[in-house]
Amino acid sequence: MLAVGRRVVSLAAVAVLALVGLTACSPSTKGVTGLSVDENGQLLAVLAWCTKQPPDTVLLDYLPPETASASPSGPPDLSLVLSRRSKYAVPQGATRPAMLPLVDFPPELAHHPDTAFRIFAVEDRNSFNLEPLYFRLGDLAALVPGGVMVDGGAESWEIVSADEFVRRGQEAPEC
């Protein structure tokens, strides 16, 4: 009976250490990611952060509609997305809000209105990331120059002004 008790304590200790190790490696959220369009209709990734340096890379993940979540209004299930990822470099010295043209958007084979996307920015050493935005290709019809699509909570997005977007980046949960 004593051996069973030691085994349970040992397994519990291993579980706690594993949990601490996993959470210690998770980057903190230091801003927000959004989308906008310029006057010519070019899609832009919009970034606002609260750190001294900007993030390094914008990641755009997508799932075709046949593999995306059945819920048209909620965030898509992007657990199988890593093979469908586009990367965009953030220029060194970028200032907030940074606006990066998403050239060659949408990706090949991602032209259906129900194609699900996730866009977010990361610091390459994994020290922080920016809150992601989940959207579908058909949602982009709501974009207008000067407005920024941003996560609206409760499985939705909303359009805010550029000033409001920067404010949200400065007030991110872990800033």
Per residue in 7-26, pLDDT tens?
433 333 333 333 334 445 68
Q: Where are the domains of the chain?
A: 29-170
Give the pLDDT confidence score for residue 84 in this predicted structure. 78
Per cent of the chain over pLDDT 90 is 58
pLDDT higher than 80, residue 155: no
Query: For tokens 């927000």, what's the residue?
Result: 32
Compute the Cα dihedral for 98, 103, 106, 109 and give only its sign. Answer: negative
pTM (2 decimals)?
A: 0.78
**How many CB atoms neighbour CB 31 within 10 A?**
29
Strands (E), 25-140: 28-37, 43-49, 57-63, 85-89, 98-101, 116-122, 128-131, 133-136
pLDDT higher than 70, residue 35: yes
Give the pLDDT confidence score for residue 144 in this predicted structure. 96
- Quote the mean pLDDT of the chain: 81
Query: For tokens 């974009």, what's the residue?
Result: 143
Lowest mean per-residue pLDDT among 38-47, 61-70, 100-109, 113-122: 61-70
Among the listed residues 135, 153, 155, the one whose alpha carbon sits nearest the alpha carbon of residue 35: 135
